[in-house]
Amino acid sequence: MSTAPQTYGGADDQFVDMLTGHLDRHARRTPGRKKAAAQSADPALLAAVVTELRAETTWASGPPPALRDSILSRVRAHAAEQHAAEPAPDPLSASDQLSVPEPVPVPEPTAGPATPVPSADPGPRWWHPAQWRPRMGRLTWALPAAALGAAVFTAGVLAVDRMLDAQPRADVYIAAGTELAPEARGKVSVVDTPSGASVVLEPVGLPAAAPGSYYAAWLKGPRGTVPIGSFHERRSGVPIELWSGVDIADYTTFSVTLQQEGAPPAPSGLVVMTAALSS
């Protein structure tokens, strides 16, 4: 007897505590009007059960075999009664199930005078009178300038044409070398102008005059001999321009002589080239 009560007491104390906790939780979940009745009935039942279970006389000779089943059946029956007494939630109506939130209405703009939107300015057109004035202003100086340019061009063409027509024709003669310069030859172009006779000599093969000497050109005719210029031919290939102030028609011979510097200005006897000026 010393061991049975302790063994049963330890295990059953845990069972009693679990049963007490279950009843307390069930009492807290009881809603509505029946909650007051449950609160008044459950504590009395629980107190009686706990008192009986905790009494030493109950466990002195061991609990009856059917005690545990009896208590559990009573607890289950009580729990089933409480569950059946709870009202079921109301089912949703068809309108509640299919209800859709209505869209929020958008306020319509208040009617009022429309504000005109200014269109892009296309700019002035060519037919606008204001566009004519600048163009006419440009034409007022452009036309005279064009006319002046045309007049200047025409005058230039006429002047060149007159110069070409007025330029006298050149008479060309062939000059040949003498025994002193047998390889020399050349072309003599004579142009009679109002201010004199232009003579152009283009020598070929004439050696350059040695330092201290030079070449002199002469016109010889019935009226005598006239000097028309001098050169040294130290740079060949360049036309030599000579000039005479006498009428070329009065002189029939063109000649070139080799002269010494410091000698008298008269033809020497050293003639290197001659050309006949007869037509």
Q: What CA–CA distance (Å, rounded) separates 221 from 162?
A: 34
Cα 111 from chain centroid?
A: 49
| pLDDT at residue 245 is higher than 60 | yes
| pLDDT at residue 4 is higher than 70 | no
Across 64-73, 110-119, 229-238, 266-275, which has the greatest mean pLDDT?
266-275
Give backbone dihedrals phi and psi of 95, rounded to 5 degrees, phi first: -70, -35
Provide the CB-side half-sphere exposure for 74 (13 A, CA).
12
What is the per-residue pLDDT for 139?
59
Structure tokens at 122: 């296309």
| pLDDT at residue 169 is higher than 70 | yes
Contact 261, 212 (CB under 8 A): yes
pTM for this entry: 0.42
Q: What CA–CA distance (Å, rounded) separates 272 from 184?
A: 8
Query: Pairing state of beta strands 196-204 and 171-177?
Result: unpaired
Lowest pLDDT segment from 123-137, 221-235, 259-273: 123-137
The pLDDT tens digits for 186-223 are 999 999 888 888 999 999 999 999 999 999 999 999 99
H-assigned helices in the chain: 4-29, 34-54, 56-59, 67-85, 94-97, 129-166
Q: What CA–CA distance (Å, rounded) separates 135 from 157?
A: 32
What is the per-residue pLDDT for 170?
85
- Say whether 223 sits in a helix, a strand or coil: coil
Supply the mean pLDDT for the chain: 74
Contact 39, 92 (CB under 8 A): no
Q: What CA–CA distance (Å, rounded) separates 139 from 145?
A: 10
Q: How far apart are the first and last CA of the chain?
A: 186
Contact 217, 256 (CB under 8 A): yes
The pLDDT tens digits for 122-158 are 665 655 656 655 555 565 666 677 777 888 888 777 7
